[in-house]
Amino acid sequence: MFTKTLVAILGLALIVGAVPPKKATCSKGRKASDQRCCVWFDVLDDIQENLFDGGECGEEVHESLRLTFHDAISFSPKMFREGKFGGGGADGSIMAFAEVETHFDASVGLDEIVGEQKPFALAHKVSFGDFIQFAGAVGVSNCVGGPHLQFLAGRSNHSQVSPDGLIPLPTDSVDTILARFADAGFSASEVVDLLASHTVAAQDHIDPDIHGSPFDSTPSEFDAQFFVETLLKGVAFPGNGSHSGEVLSPYPGELRLQSDALLARDPRTACEWQSFISNHDLMVQRFTKAMAKMAVLGNDPRTLYDCSEVIPVPKPAASKVAHLPAGKTLKDIEHACKATPFPTIKADPGPETSIPVVPAS
């Protein structure tokens, strides 16, 4: 009798465990395949209006996307193998311990976006780790041509301070950068894939006198211009001279990171870099895949649940192929991929590119 009862209980448990998440109607009549995702529709409405200025691809988007990386990449299996704490990965520790982690050399300036984001996470009672990844995914969806990133929720709100030194610096060598990423589980090609984020990025602290200077000429569009313009010969510094982590740029107002310039020309990464110039879809596909991997570092994905349906679908790219900016020719390209010719791209017939400098506030 006991055996039959136990079998019945176990059978019921298996059935219950196989039941799919309960579907739900959320606020404003929106549907979710999992009722636990309903809260994220409310977060979406709040941050689109009050963090991203009505759904723009602006500075808060740039910084939110940067924050996803700085929270997640602080994860070192090597340190764990050595008996040390190697960080919790995408666990929200950079928000929980902002007074410590935003003072790391690599994260200078992130205290501002953490300070802006934290009240939203607290108001909606969601974990810091979840909120950081959600805000990054929503933010980049505001950029024309951007990806529709996966968003898995369910991260714990318990974390501890990440060790310093796990976030690559723009002054690091390619060897150092690739070794750090390899420790976290990323190949050299995946490093390039993640750097597609720099197509909608800008700097504030390498040269604070030119606050907000972008890394390419179209910082509100998720396009391949970054991968073209990083290969152009540098001719001048956009500000008042050279600063640590900066190298010569092709245009006034555009800043080039030393690490980006080196990775664009290194034989281990140059061909992946070049491959995106004439293939926007490939760039988005590989960025999406690499971001999905990064967003769960330090987490067991089996304990998370999929709320990707809450992330808005971005507007499609105006063009799937990058162009040579006006005033530049193929002679200005420092072709570094020896395996394949530089792709055929057109030159912009407009006036020579000049990116306005945003004055420091």
- The annotation status of 199 as a binding-site residue, yes or no, is yes
E-strand spans in the chain?
24-25, 31-32, 152-153, 202-203, 213-214, 246-247, 256-257, 305-306
- The annotation status of 209 as a binding-site residue, yes or no, is no
Structural tokens at position 194: 């993640």
Q: In a 3-state reduction of DSSP, which class is residue 283?
A: helix
Structural tokens at position 129: 């780790």
Least Cα distance to 273 among 256, 257, 285, 261 occurs for 261
Element (H, E) at 341: none
Q: With beta carbons less than 8 A apart as the criterion, state whether 181 and 210 touch.
A: no
Structural tokens at position 21: 């998440």
- DSSP lists the bridge partners of residue 31 as 25
Q: In a 3-state reduction of DSSP, which class is residue 28?
A: helix
The pairing of strands 202-203 and 213-214 is antiparallel
- 70, 243, 280, 323: the catalytic one is 70
Structural tokens at position 76: 């070192």
- The annotation status of 93 as a binding-site residue, yes or no, is yes
CA distances from 264 to 33, 38, 66, 295 (A): 42, 42, 20, 24
- The annotation status of 207 as a binding-site residue, yes or no, is no
Q: What is the DSSP string of 25-81?
A: E-GGG-EESSGGGHHHHHHHHHHHHHTSTTT--SHHHHHHHHHHHHHHS---HHHHH
- The annotation status of 198 as a binding-site residue, yes or no, is yes
Q: Which residues, at least 6 apart from 55, have a Cβ–Cβ distance to it below 8 Å?
A: 48, 142, 312
Structural tokens at position 154: 């369910």
Q: In a 3-state reduction of DSSP, which class is residue 318?
A: coil
- The annotation status of 111 as a binding-site residue, yes or no, is no
- The annotation status of 218 as a binding-site residue, yes or no, is yes
- DSSP lists the bridge partners of residue 232 as 333
d(CA 134, CA 70): 14
> Would you call 70 a catalytic residue per the annotation?
yes
Question: Would you name the residues annotated as active-site residues?
Answer: 70
Binding positions for Ca(2+) are 71, 89, 91, 93, 199, 216, 218, 223
Binding residues for heme b: 198
